[in-house]
Every structure is written in C-alpha cells, then in structure tokens.
C-alpha cells in the first residue's frame, strides 16, 4: 500500500504523521488520542493537523493521566476500535505501566483468545535532544520483557511509516518506540506500508568481518561507525533489529555465523539491558562460529545525565571502534578483558 505522498524528502516526524493520516483515512475504527495530540499536534508535532482533518471525535486530547489513557484504549479496543495512543515522553509512560503489563499484554491470554487488543502505544524515547531525566529514558527492556506485547522501533523515515502502518493493522498490542532524536532526520523515499514484515530485522549494510547490531536512534551512529571502521580495514555488516519483541533470530544468526564476531549497540544502560539478551542468544546459537565474545556498547549504568554530559553517555563512533579493537585481542585475553572494564563499554 502506498501513502498519499510520492517519493519526496521527508522527516521521520512527517512520515509518522502521514502514516497516522493514512490509517485514519483507511479505517474508521482508528482513533488517535493522548496529551496535546489534538489542537497542538503533539509535543513533537507528529499529530499536527490530524484533528482539523479528521475531527475531534477521532483525534483528541486527554487529561494528564497516562493510566487512564491506556485503560480507555483497552476498553475501546474491546469494543471494536483500533486506538493509537501517545505517551508524551518515555518516562511519562510509567504511570500507565500497570495497565500495559497487567491488562494490555495479558487480556488475550486471559480470555483464551476471545478478546484481542489491537492497540498501538506510541512512546517517544531515548536521548540526544538535550533533555533531562524523565524526558530521555530508553525503557525498551521493560516492554520487551513482557510476554504478550510486540515492541518495535524505526530507524529511518521510510521505516517509521512502514512500521506504524503495520502496527496499526496488527491484531496484537504494539509498543511503538519513536527515537526522538531522529524525528527531524530526512531521507528521500516513497512511503509504503509493504516491505519487511513487522517482526523482521533488516540488513542495512552488508559486510564480512563483524556484525554490528542496533536499533532505533543508534542505527545511524552504527552506520557512521561502520564507515569509519572501513578505513581501519573492517568490513562491517550492520543489522537494524526493527522488532525487539519478537526478535528476528534467523537474520542475526545467519549474519554472525558468517562474520564470526558481533557487537550490540544501544543507548539504554548496559546492566540487564536489551543487548544482554541478544548477546546471550548469539552465544547460545553461534558458539562454534564465534571468534571472540559478543560485545556491547551501551549507555552507562546511571540515571540519564544532564544535557552537557549526554554526549559522553550515548554510544559514539569512537566507542564502537574501541569495541572492534577489543575483538582483535588474541593474547592473554583474560587480563585484557579485566583491564578493559568487562563485557560492555
């Protein structure tokens, strides 16, 4: 399915806006609501103009009550609608966590499949915007750990359109994580709902020496690191996970069995972070192909820092290149690993 836009230069925010407009036009059961999504068009203007176009019955503002927003969406979905709700910032979604984990994720199982909840919960997440704590959390591991939820995150404008259209059409509840520092990234593309499946990873750069695995806001950083690594003799393959739950094991294992090395990059804290699950799965499935341990380049295990320090906190090209250098150590590995600070940088 093609959007209302032909091939053009579009931002991620614009692509998401177009996806919502196309979904609203295609299905009268789709409703969009949340804090300031109506008249204002959302904090990041992702819903700009939708209330004027589709009316206040289908795109509307809510009180500042995240648990109420998700609870209302659950009731709507039980009665045949397809709600798309916005949590204004990542950490603002925590008051709704009980509704998400206890009801949204479990109702289909609780009713033995009699009740499905085709709800999309949009959450702007991550740092890189000069924000402060409560505005820059990377909370993907909480949701991915919860059975019954799909968790997806786009890395580009075209994929943002595709993933959001597919998420709205999906019969399962979807946590849709939008990397806010990429809202204004641009690309020239024709926005289409087809392409990779909702739960399929994408190999965005082919390579032979190492597999760099990332998602959301850090994919662009990972591609920059792969280009820099080429100058040092590395031919890096880059995988955009796209879907965090379920995860596309086949694409990951096929790549790592070829390259023999892997680094997982994300901006959330490393301890019990999403990258730990990917590292464990690759160690289990690719043990005999690995030429070095699976490494992680992550945010530090601290509350999100002040804006002046976030550049040190977020994964960077230099930190990814440092991880690649560690993959080459082949003498006295134990001592070198202890000196390097352990499993993730």
Residues 159 and 254 in one domain: no
What is residue 132's predicted lDDT score, i.e. its pLDDT? 82
The pLDDT of residue 97: 97
Tracing tokens 């080459």 back to the chain, one arrives at 328
pLDDT in the model for residue 117: 98
Verify that 90 and 120 share a domain, yes or no.
yes
Q: How big is the chain by its Cα radius of gyration, in Å?
A: 20
Q: Are residues 180 and 245 in the same domain?
A: no
Closest Cα to residue 177, out of 190, 192, 164?
164
Q: Is residue 97 one of the residues assigned to a domain?
A: yes
Q: What is the pLDDT of residue 343?
A: 44
CA angle 38, 40, 43 (to 5 degrees): 105
- Length of the chain counted residue by residue: 345
Q: Which residues in the chain come in under a pLDDT of 50?
A: 1-2, 330-334, 336-343
| pLDDT confidence of residue 337 | 44
> In this structure, what CATH number is given to the domain that contains residue 280?
3.40.50.920
Per-residue confidence (pLDDT) for residue 40, from 0 to 100 = 95
Are 245 and 335 in a shared domain?
yes
Beta-strand ranges (E) seen in the chain are: 8-11, 30-34, 59-61, 82-86, 120-125, 150-152, 174-179, 186-189, 202-205, 210-214, 236-240, 243-245, 262-269, 295-299
* Residues designated as active site: 135
Same domain, 211 and 301: yes
The residue written with tokens 């915007």 in the block is: 129
Asked whether residue 140 falls in the same domain as residue 238, the answer is no
Domain that holds residue 247: 202-340
Q: What is the pTM of this model?
A: 0.93
Residues 117 and 266 grouped into a single domain: no
Considering the domain architecture, whether residues 147 and 278 belong to the same structural domain is answered as no
pLDDT value, residue 339: 44
């Amino acid at each position: 399915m093609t959007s209302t836009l032909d091939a053009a230069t579009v931002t991620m925010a614009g692509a998401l806006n177009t996806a919502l407009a196309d979904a609203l036009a295609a299905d009268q059961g789709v409703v969009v609501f949340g804090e300031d999504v109506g008249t204002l068009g959302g904090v990041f203007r992702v819903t700009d103009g939708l209330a004027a176009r589709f009316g206040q019955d289908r795109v509307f503002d809510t009180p500042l009550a995240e648990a109420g927003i998700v609870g209302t969406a659950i009731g709507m979905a039980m009665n045949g609608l397809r709600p798309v709700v916005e949590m204004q910032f990542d950490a603002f979604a925590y008051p709704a966590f009980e509704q998400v984990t206890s009801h949204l994720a479990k109702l289909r199982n609780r009713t033995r499949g009699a009740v499905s909840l085709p709800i999309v919960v949009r959450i702007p997440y991550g740092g890189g915007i000069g924000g402060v704590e409560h505005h820059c959390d990377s909370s993907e591991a909480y949701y991915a750990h919860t059975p019954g939820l799909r968790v997806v995150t786009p890395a580009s404008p075209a994929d943002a359109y595709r993933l959001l259209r597919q998420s709205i059409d999906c019969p399962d509840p979807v946590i849709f994580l939008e990397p806010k520092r990429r809202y204004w990234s641009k690309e020239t593309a024709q926005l289409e709902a087809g392409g990779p499946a909702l739960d399929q990873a994408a190999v965005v750069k082919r390579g032979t020496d190492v597999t760099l695995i990332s998602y959301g806001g850090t994919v662009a950083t990972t591609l920059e690191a792969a280009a820099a690594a080429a100058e040092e003799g590395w031919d890096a393959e880059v995988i955009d996970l796209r879907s965090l739950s379920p995860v596309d094991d086949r694409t990951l294992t096929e790549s790592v069995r070829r390259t023999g090395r892997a680094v997982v990059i994300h901006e959330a804290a490393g301890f019990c972070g999403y990258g730990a699950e990917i590292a464990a799965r690759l160690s289990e499935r690719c043990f005999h192909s690995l030429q070095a341990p699976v490494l992680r380049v992550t945010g530090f295990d601290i509350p999100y820092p002040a804006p002046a320090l976030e550049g040190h906190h977020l994964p960077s090209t230099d930190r990814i290149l440092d991880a690649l250098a560690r993959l080459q150590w082949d003498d006295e590995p134990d001592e070198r690993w202890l000196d390097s600070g352990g499993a993730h940088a």
